[in-house]
Amino acid sequence: MSDSILVIPGSGAVTPADRGLLYGEGVFESLHLRPSGPWLLDRHLDRLHRSAALLEMPLPPREDLAELARRAARAGPGGEAALRLIVTAGPASGPQAVYATVGPVPAAALRERRDGIRVITADLGVGPRPPWSLAAAKTLSYAENLAARRWAQRQGADDLLWLTPDGHALEAPTASLVWLTGDTLCTVAPGRTGILAGTTAAHLLDRAPELGLRAEERLITAAELTAADGVWFASSLRGLAEVRILDGTHRAGSPWTRRLLDLLGFEVR
């Protein structure tokens, strides 16, 4: 597939007065598009509705969104691709914009899936989330997330792991943290931290028993993470990217990386 992005309209249109454009008031989901269709569509629609509820923003009927995703999949290249569902808040008076896009999986995501990533940690600089926080919503206000990744790249890393002021791991700007300790595959508990719940991470933990692993949501400090048997960033398009360097310390490759990617159905190339 070329680098072009296909836009599949649903309803409404983005205008200069759209609050999604002006203020980032809108929600989206990125899905891995496979020959079989949009991967984990139901989980992504669930999260889209949770995000919209936090913004107190209505959504079109669930089946309409599902059909839009399926239409976008049919318009796609027929192989691996990136599918996004976007719903804006619309102008102060007027319809919301609902649309989908289909484009290639970024080359960086494919490379990180194959080769792993260099990660640095950084204090997020906030304590408990205020009641109006939208950290648990996947909104169109993604500039700070992308700025965090750019900052990490200027430090010679590929990505960043946010920490609480007391040193507990949270999430990456665009991925969930997953780690293996013994026979237990873990991710950070979103309900206890207020972070965005990861669809790929949740699906992976659901299927962990198929590989003889237990699954657990819990907290971990950055210091404890250095002793983990495997550390990964999980996201819809990368699948899993193994953390091979953490704060300058090299980590041996985990034999579980390929097994976990195979379990999720991701090709390594």
Mean pLDDT of 58-74: 96
Query: What does residue 18 show for φ and ψ, rounded to 5 degrees?
Result: -65, 130
- The Cα 143–Cα 165 span in angstroms is 22
For the chain, give the percent of residues with pLDDT over 90. Answer: 88
- The set of residues, in sequence order, having a beta carbon less than 8 Å from that of 36 and lying 6+ positions away, is none
pLDDT confidence tier of residue 1, bands split at 50, 70 and 90: very low
Tell me the pLDDT band of 133, cut-offs 50, 70 and 90.
Answer: confident
| Confidence class for position 269, pLDDT limits 50, 70, 90 | confident
Q: How high does pLDDT run on average in the chain?
A: 94
| DSSP letter for each residue of the chain | --S--EEEEEES---TT-HHHHH--EEEEEEEEETTEETTHHHHHHHHHHHHHHTT-----HHHHHHHHHHHHHHS-SSSEEEEEEEE---SSSPPPEEEEEEPPPHHHHHHHHH-EEEEEEE----SPPTT--TTS-BS--HHHHHHHHHHHHTT-SEEEEE-TTSBB--BTTBEEEEEETTEEEEE-HHHH-PPPPHHHHHHHHHGGGGT-EEEEE--BHHHHTT-SEEEEEETTTEEEEEEEETTEE-PPPTHHHHHHHHHT----
Q: Quick check: 18 and 24 in contact, CB under 8 A?
A: no
pLDDT in tens, 69-116: 999 999 988 889 999 999 999 999 889 999 999 999 999 999 999 999
List, in order of start, the domains of the chain with CATH numbers: 6-105 (3.30.470.10), 108-264 (3.20.10.10)
